[in-house]
Amino acid sequence: MSASGALARRLGLVDAIAIGLGSMIGAGVFAAFAPAAAAAGGGLLIGLAIAAVVAYANATSSAQLAAQFPTSGGTYVYGREMIGPWSGFFAGWSFVIGKTASCAAMALTFASYAVPEAWQRPVAVAAVIVLAIVNTFGVTRTAGLTRAIVVVVLSVLVLVVVAAAASGAATTANLTIAPGEHGWYGILQSAGLLFFAFAGYARIATMGEEVRDPQRTIPRAIVIALVLALIVYVALAVAALATLGPERLAASPAPLAELAAAGGWTWTGPVVRVGAAAASLGALLALVAGIGRTSLAMARAGDLPRWLSAVHPRYAVPHRAELALAAVVSVLILTTDLRAAIGFSSFGVLLYYLIANVAAYRQGAAARRFPRVLQIVGAVGCAVLVATLPWPSIVGGATVVAVGVGYRALRRRAREGVTPRA
């Protein structure tokens, strides 16, 4: 059980799309809209458009790289192969810390919709532990459960939009395409926070070692999942802003439940809460799988402890990495709040995609599927959105990144003290 082995290719196109879509919908719809509205006000739609452009550029870079390197690890592997070991480590560490925070955010979102406040943190911890155990029983179970969750969530979101349209409370006066009183800084900050909602397609790339026909399946799945998520986000953002207004949206702890009830459909409240809980669980399930695969790749290369590279001999999953992740996320749940976790997650994930864009820019003509201008747009967009995140997220993220860099430097020095340089 301790040996590091290969993962099994068991996922098809529909499985990969479901995992990416499940990650994005759970994160964006129920967690990111309120803080983004607080940052941008009525300019939320501009922030969403900026986040979508950056996400598309990043998605094309990830798709192009994944087709050339169809293995576990995502940009950790791409950075190592196309730029160098330090760039790979920087990307992998940023992904692990950012998405670990995302796990905490999704678990807290699930609990906030599912149980009273006094029970939320214990229930969130229990959800993390249960889903980590589900993941250890094999990736096909992960994909199957995610598909079921996506169907439930999309059904609920259709109900929300229909209820909002039938309410008669919507007004175009709440929709704006101008910066307004919050200015461009607030809009860019909202874009950085909303980027948290788009980053789920990374799960597809990080699971590249388990996808059938990866050179064809991964690029298609990434783009399809992103487009589907964007359609859902635009519909809900327009409905929420037009019906609730930016101030009410920013202040609401459960904006979609409030949106569905705006026309007097009070019976929709429990339905929306079930959908929110399911969406958050779907995102959490896919996150645990994706982080486990990146941790596996980093452990194989010696950038994380080697014992995390174990692949279960029966279920062919990185079980130790996933169980270790569950322990760390449980600690975060007990010590952090939801909005802080979203900002911290965006910091790590934007740095991860910055490396992805640079790596894709360096690919040769034979591997190129998209024009280089998209990689430039993605890299510049990531840098700008990182710089405009709330300052506690920047300080906290930079500190943890520095800890990881110091850890790798010490490990390299220790190895070189025993083994001469090659």
Q: Can you list the residues of the chain whose pLDDT is less than 70? A: 1-10, 26-28, 72, 137-145, 176-180, 202-203, 205-210, 315-316, 417-422
pLDDT for position 330: 92
Following CA atoms 236, 240, 241, 242 in sequence, which dihedral angle do they give, to the nearest 10 degrees? 100
- In this prediction, residue 360 carries a pLDDT of 95
> Residue 373 has what pLDDT?
95
Helix, strand, coil percentages for the chain (3-state, nearest 5): 80, 0, 20
Q: Do residues 149 and 274 touch, judged by C-beta distance below 8 A? A: no
55 burial (CB, 10 Å; 0-12 / 13-18 / 19+) is buried
- Residue 2: per-residue pLDDT: 41
pLDDT of residue 208: 61
Decide if 172 contacts 326 (C-beta within 8 A). no
For residue 357, what pLDDT is reported?
95
pLDDT value of position 89: 92
Reported pTM: 0.79
Q: Between the CA of residue 32 and those of 58, 273, 280, 293, what are the distances in Å? A: 19, 16, 12, 25
Amino acid at site 210: E
Q: What is the 3-state secondary structure (H, E, C) of 110-152?
A: HHHHHCCHHHHHHHHHHHHHHHHHHHHCCHHHHHHHHHHHHHH
- Contact, 124 vs 107, CB < 8 A? yes
What integer pLDDT is reported at residue 421 of this predicted model? 46
pLDDT attached to residue 141: 56
**pLDDT score for 3:** 46
Residue 84's pLDDT is 93
